[in-house]
Amino acid sequence: MNTLLSYFRDLEPQMVQWLMDLINTDSPSDNKPALDRLARRMGDRFGSYGAAVELVPNPEAGDHLLARFSGPDARGKPLLLLGHLDTVWGMGEAKRRPARLEDGKIFGPASFDMRGGTTLMLALAHYLSSGRGKLKRPLTILLDSDEEVGTRTARSLIEKEARGCRAVLVLEPCLPGGAVKTARKGVGTFVISAGGVAAHSGVDYQKGVSAIQELAYQVLELYRLNDLELGTTVNPGVFRGGSRSNVIADQAELEVDVRVATMAEGERITACIHGLQPRVEGSRLTVTGNMNRPPLERNGQMIQLYREARQLAAELGIDLQEGSTGGGSDGCFTAALGVPTLDGLGPDGAGPHALHEHVLVESLAPRAALLTQLALNL
């Protein structure tokens, strides 16, 4: 067996323990004390493996964590490893559904997205501290605290760290079977509000202006923007308004999710949504929102990095496949800067954000070996 693989086979019980501990630690995106605690704990771990650790204070959400490894020989452009500390699960979820090992799968909140990937980062740090392999370039691990809510506070930090990097490796979940993600859709969120005039539906029907009627027209307009062939989807996912059935609604609101495969489509859809015009006489329309994550476009740079990774994986006996997803990640920001980005390097599993979410134990060692192989050789 390859020496990296056998190292991580031996480390597997420890990785299982790390993963279960992480699953059993709540850290919702909106809970600063919990996120700060986890950032400190992870910082201590990476520090004990020889990293220079920096907690980046964040008054608006949880602190972000930077852990830098740079041996005496580490020169050249750095490598950046990206992950997030926050989860979509609320406080108390870990107690309700603690980590559970069953049939070779580890179940529990955020196991797949992305306690598994975080575990691989610890495994890599463990390997580096063993002195078995030397880094040829500086390596930075960045764990942010608000990825699950759009990376509002961490985006500039991620961009600053990514600029000038050799490559960015993102430890988000892989595709089923272990394929990495070389294309992701860009994501936008928009809110469209309509204002009308309230009136009694029986007494003063004609004096009223219905905000609901207005938005009904806009919903149809929004559906016309879909272009499945280009990978563009527009989803009015929330529609609320009005107060009572016998009142003409003077207020209504739409929340819209937009996904695009290219920047150009993102610009086109943004312009269309912001250009929506009221259709009902006397009503007002306000549009807020934007594309908040650019797409990860499968361009020449991405393909080149994937090919190199595939070659390095083959040396471990791993046949590394690629694929695409409609979900966004922090890798979208770094790819948009023109930094080669490989996403979906986490362990195999299924069910991100779902109750059956899990990680396959047998994938931990090969994925840790793959990550380490990339970190040492790219």
Q: Report H helices in 138-243.
A: 155-162, 211-223
Q: How many residues bind Zn ion (CB under 5 A)?
A: 3
Write out the two tokens for 242.
């009005």
Report, in Å, the least distance between residue 181 CB and Zn ion: 11
| Of 291, 334, 292, the residue nearest 151 (C-alpha) | 292
Site string for Zn ion, 90-129 (x = CB under 5 A): -----------------------xx---------------
In this structure, are strands 52-56 and 64-69 parallel, antiparallel, or unpaired? Answer: antiparallel
Nearer Cβ to Zn ion, position 322 or 357? 357
Nearer Cβ to Zn ion, position 118 or 213? 118
Nearer Cβ to Zn ion, position 113 or 357? 113
Nearer Cβ to Zn ion, position 94 or 234? 94
DSSP state at residue 196: -
Report, in Å, the least distance between residue 242 CB and Zn ion: 36
In the window 266-305, what residues touch Zn ion (CB under 5 A)?
none
Report, in Å, the least distance between residue 145 CB and Zn ion: 12
Nearer Cβ to Zn ion, position 113 or 265? 113
Q: Report H helices in the chain.
A: 3-23, 32-48, 93-96, 116-129, 155-162, 211-223, 263-274, 300-314, 331-336, 361-377
Report, in Å, the least distance between residue 124 CB and Zn ion: 18
Nearest residue to Zn ion, by Cβ distance, number only: 113
Please give the Cα distance from 103 to 358 (Å, whole number).
11
Report, in Å, the least distance between residue 329 CB and Zn ion: 6
In the window 160-189, what residues touch Zn ion (CB under 5 A)?
172
Residue 69's DSSP bridge partners are 139
Place of tokens 């309509």: 194
Report, in Å, the least distance between residue 214 CB and Zn ion: 37
The helix/strand/coil state of 264 is: helix
Please give the Cα distance from 140 to 339 (Å, whole number).
15
Nearer Cβ to Zn ion, position 94 or 114? 114
Task: Give the footprint of Zn ion on this chain (CB under 5 A).
Answer: 113-114, 172
